[in-house]
Amino acid sequence: MGTKASNQMWGGRFASGPDAIMEAINASIGFDRRLADQDIDGSLAHVAMLAAQGIVSPADAEAISDGLGRVRAEIAEERFEFKPALEDIHMNIEARLSEIIGDAAGRLHTGRSRNDQVATDFRLWVRDQCDAAVAGLTALMRALLDQAEAGADWVMPGFTHLQTAQPVTWGHHMLAYVEMFARDRARFADARARMNECPLGAAALAGTSFPIDREATAHALGFDRPMANSLDAVSDRDFALEFLAAASICAMHLSRMSEELVIWSSAQFRFVTLSDRFSTGSSIMPQKKNPDAAELIRAKIGRILGAQVALLVVMKGLPLAYSKDMQEDKEQVFDAADSLMLALAAMTGMAQDMTANAPALEEAAGAGFSTATDLADWLVRVLGMPFREAHHVTGAIVAKAEAAGCDLPELPLEAMQAVHPGITAQIFDVLGVRNSVASRQSYGGTAPDQVRAQVAAWKERLE
């Protein structure tokens, strides 16, 4: 009775009882197999150092290196059998190495622990992901620069509160995202530089009594230096958290751009047409062309930010040094990295393929009294009016135009002079949307000349 009840408690999946549950919760090979290349790289660097230091014989080191090469080939060719009973990628590789070369495989683990081994593997993997994110962001920035250059003088409405504010150029709007993604690129590069220290040789937590050369292994793996404290080396996951923080901010930027593409591609706006490659149809409404790629990118921030929060919560209460809780670090980072790279690739494709509707952009740019600020600036600049008074006069003129059912450039001069007699026909030189954007020549402004200068500067930076 007691045994039967106990088995029922474990459930059908774990019919064999507590041992099966322990194996299921303890094993990480289902996900950390992604660290295979990094694990083999770390082992090759470690055994080369052991041989150079006279800790293992040259013959054993050669056998281990050759055997690791065979293991790598088996994994690449999908001939490798991953065994959950061996828990993780480290033990799976070492067990197979032992089958290939015999007892010499047991010498590979001299002077290290799984604690510093996994910290090294994971750091190498995240470092590679930083490089991939930088490359992905660079490709996206180039696509946006092409859009900016093509539309340097296309006029469109600029918005605040999603209400028409002032005219800007398409190129200027595209360059805003270039700046945002450039900051993301810098964050990944900065995180990579900070994480480029090597945990290998810290062993379980206290270092090792073997005469190892940590500088040699660090440099062999492309690190700048070994980590200076063995406790910190095995317990630190800041590098993963920094990657997730940079990924979360980047995903937020991708989400903002996606939101605009969803709005702009709607029938109500008609600002852009997304290519068929990044759109889908409706199952029942034949007229629909849905911006599904943009919507899915917009959703990725949930998964990526969720991964950051999850890892922060895992790490927040852990005493030094290693705890098994830290096995929960990888799945979150793997998923976030996959989601980010997919979102970057999709956004780059959309940016390359999308077509701006220049006539619709210009028509919308002139609506909503978008040149009211230009009128106020003219009153200050030409008539010497204090800006607060100019703001009041402009508001009265806008009210007249609204009552007349026209925009500011169509309002008769006499109607403006009824508000302020000092206004002359020169006012119409600033009221057109093209005149408005051309006048914004301040550094970082929307004038076509400024846009072209920024495009040229960015292209030079990205070479």
Q: Give the pLDDT confidence score for residue 122 in this predicted structure.
A: 97
Structure tokens at 99: 């089958």
Active site residues: 161, 282
CA–CA gap between residue 273 and residue 350 (Å, rounded)? 10
Rounded to the nearest 5 degrees, what angle is found at the Cα of 210, between the Cα atoms of 206 and 216? 90
Distances (CA, A) of 459 to 176, 284, 452: 15, 45, 11
Q: Give the pLDDT confidence score for residue 13 in this predicted structure.
A: 54
Query: Are 63 and 43 in contact, with CB atoms under 8 Å apart?
Result: no
CA–CA gap between residue 257 and residue 252 (Å, rounded)? 9
Query: Are 452 and 149 in contact, with CB atoms under 8 Å apart?
Result: yes
Query: Are 402 and 197 in contact, with CB atoms under 8 Å apart?
Result: no
Q: Give the pLDDT confidence score for residue 145 in this predicted structure.
A: 98
Q: Give the pLDDT confidence score for residue 7 in this predicted structure.
A: 45
Query: Are 124 and 141 in contact, with CB atoms under 8 Å apart?
Result: no
CA–CA gap between residue 325 and residue 317 (Å, rounded)? 10
Question: Between the CA atoms of 429, 433, 438 and 443, what dihedral angle is there, to the nearest 10 degrees?
Answer: 130
For residue 404, the tally of other CB atoms under 10 A from its CB is: 12
Give the residue carrying structure tokens 């005149």. Answer: 435
Q: List phi, psi (to 5°) of 291.
A: -80, 60
Q: Give the pLDDT confidence score for residue 1 in this predicted structure.
A: 41
Name which of 91, 93, 96, 88 is nearest 31 in CA terms.
88
pLDDT along the chain (463 residues), means of 10: 44 59 81 93 98 97 97 95 90 94 95 95 98 98 97 93 88 98 98 98 96 98 98 97 98 97 92 82 57 92 96 95 89 96 96 94 82 86 91 92 86 91 87 84 93 97 92
Q: Give the pLDDT confidence score for residue 368 in this predicted structure.
A: 66
